[in-house]
Amino acid sequence: MIRKIRLFTPGPTPLLPAAQFAMAAADIHHRTAEFRALYQRVLDQLKTFVGTKNDVLLLASSGTGAMEAAVSNLTSPGDRVLVLSAGKFGERWVALANAFGCAVDVVNVPYGQTFSLDEVRKALKIETRAVFMQATESSTGVRHDVEGVARLLKKADSGALLVVDAITGLGTTHFEVDGWGVDVIIGGSQKAVMIPPGLAYLGVSNRAWEAMEISLNPRYYFDLRKERKNAHKGESSYTPAIALIAALGAALDYIASQAGGDLAAGRDALIDNAEKCAAMTRAAVEAMGLKLFAPAAPAAAATAVLPPAGVDSGVIVKELKNRFGAVITNGQGEMKGQIFRVAHIGLFDYMDTIAIVGALEQIAISTLKIPDFEFGQALAAAQRVFAEVVSPTKPELAVSAR
């Protein structure tokens, strides 16, 4: 058979065709009224997408650039900060905070798990200036409890800022950014918003803006105060990633179009869509006799699965690519060979999910030779989950997840 390449990866994710066209047509200069109108519109749309009244800024960088900006703009050397780490991206917070001279406390939990709020409470100190966490740890497929941590900080009357890497959380998890008191929330272009890598965006609270006035760490390209001042005039501090910004506008229009033009409702539909695809996938792999890597708190961004005992997960990754053109991801770093990850973030739907489950069934039988597994068992499990979740008699499902 011919191979049609499809990404099932948690970033970069499949590109939205309308966004690709917008990118190709973005032959404009950035110091013009035309660009300023585009920029202002996209920044406004981003506020709605993120779900905040705070300023949202765009940076020409991958997601890690915004993570670095959060650390460099909010902290001073010697500041005590707390990182909640459960995977590769949690470890990135630790490395960044160390690079900027912070005194770093870490709540570390094993890969595949999430921390308990008790552990967080114990690790929080009076002098903790900021708490850094992921909303979803893409390297392990875990969802963390952002709301729980935000509540805990309020209850403890902590002055610590809450900084959330929601790079795969946005568009896959319902957040009340302002209501919960998230101070910085970070997203990246190559994830839920279905455009290529190269843009990071972040919502910043008033408390965080105030903290920036007294923080002493060096910053230049990622000086958020300067960026904000320029953004209010419809400009970016340096040459913006014009084509990506045009693409982002088209993508946010598409998301709005999923709910009759209402972007917030479209975002909720996108989140519910990811939740559905993830639930279908979990049921399917379990019906295959495979184990989930993060069964207790699975993220909707991606599902991490353990291969059968004795099998290198790379075999499954390779077979899916070679036989079906389906690109999934292996484990990262020392997790390589131990798990495989199938993404649901962004432009994935029912059809994609059924297709990947069907291809996995082929591999389960021909390559993995899973005993007693027959064609259709995983598909049937996915079908049943789909039928349950979208049942129009249960609209409260979508609401209660919020």
Ligand X SMILES: *Cc1c(COP(=O)(O)O)cnc(C)c1O
Binding site for ligand X (CB under 6 A): 10-11, 62-64, 89, 134, 138, 165, 167-168, 188
160/125 Cα distance (integer angstroms): 9
Q: What is the 3-state secondary structure (H, E, C) of 268-319?
A: HHHHHHHHHHHHHHHHHHHHCCCEECCCCCECCCEEEEECCCCCCHHHHHHH
**How many CA atoms are closer than 13 Å to the CA of 66, on its beta-carbon side?**
26
Nearer to ligand X, 16 or 96 (CB): 96
Whole-number Å distance between alpha carbons of 365 and 375: 8
Contact (Cβ atoms closer than 8 angstroms) between residue 342 and residue 328: yes
d(CA 217, CA 1): 56
**136 or 158, CB closer to ligand X?**
136
Q: How far is the CB of 389 from ligand X (least distance, A)?
A: 24
Closest approach of Cβ 87 to ligand X, in Å? 8
Rounded distance, CA 113 to CA 103, Å?
25
Q: Which CB, 10 or 298, lies closer to ligand X?
A: 10
Between 75 and 134, name the residue whose CB sits nearer to ligand X: 134
- Shortest approach of ligand X to residue 74 CB, angstroms? 17
Q: State how far the Cα of 320 lies from the Cα of 173, in Å rounded to an integer.
A: 28
Q: Are 60 and 30 in contact (CB under 8 A)?
A: no
Residue of this chain nearest to ligand X (CB atom): 63
143, β-bridge pairs: 136
In whole angstroms, the minimum distance from the beta carbon of 168 to ligand X comes to: 4
Query: CB count, 10 Å around CB of 334?
Result: 9
CB nearer to ligand X: pick between 138 and 205: 138
Q: Environment class of residue 118 by beta-carbon count within 10 Å: exposed (0-12), middle (13-18) or buried (19+)?
A: exposed
Phi and psi at 57, nearest 5°, equal: -110, 155
Minimum gap (Å) between residue 63 Cβ and ligand X: 3
Of 30 and 191, the one with the shorter C-beta distance to ligand X is 191
* Minimum CB distance to ligand X, residue 269 (Å): 22
Is the CB of 64 or the CB of 98 nearer to ligand X? 64
Least separation in angstroms between residue 134's CB and ligand X is 5
Q: Which letter does DSSP use for residue 367 in this model?
A: T
Closest approach of ligand X to the CB of residue 199, in Å: 10
Query: Of 51 and 63, which has the nearer Cβ to ligand X?
Result: 63
